[in-house]
Amino acid sequence: MTTQVIVLNGGSSSGKSGIVRCLQAVLPEPWLAASIDSLVEAMPASLQASDAGIEFAAGGGVQVGPAFRELEAAWMEGVAAMARAGAHVIVDDVFLGGAASQGRWQKALGGLDALWVGVRCESAVAAGREVARGDRIRGMAASQAETVHRGVVYDLEVDTTHTQSLDCARTVATRVN
């Protein structure tokens, strides 16, 4: 079967977005990017800081509520619909719920050929990137570095601690058929 969706999971500042851009450059066909950050940015401001939506706490904690989950489910189904319509899609997500998050994606992507990729980065390195970015609450990278991988099953894992995004993308590209 031909890979229709690449799902990248990793903590904040682990390098997923850089890998997405590099994959788009090295893969021979066009691939769309679907980022959880884009979903959050698309939500109304009232859900970006509420119990029902998503809350970013001091120290890097992230809490999601029922309204967020409802919109997230619709977004996942929309991503899957694009793939079913013939678009190749790279998903950039943070599995806050570990295996449960993967399960939600597996349900949405049912019947599609997906490549599951874990993007790892040592906590201290991700935390340094977080500070350099300046657009994240400090502590997110450290708190998510390992927890997002709990119970998740991958086809492939890459580590951006000492490996450039382009090299990681090339590794992923070798698994795309």
Active site residues: 37
Could you tell me the CA-to-CA distances from 44 to 39, 50, 120, 149 in Å, in that order? 10, 11, 31, 29
Could you tell me the CA-to-CA distances from 172 to 90, 91, 105, 122 in Å, in that order? 11, 13, 19, 19
Residue 145 CB: number of other CB atoms within 10 A? Answer: 22
Please, which residues have CB within 8 angstroms of residue 139's CB and are 6 or more apart in sequence? 58, 59, 60, 61, 127
Cα separation, 96 vs 46, whole angstroms: 21
Q: Tokens standing for 56? A: 């970013």
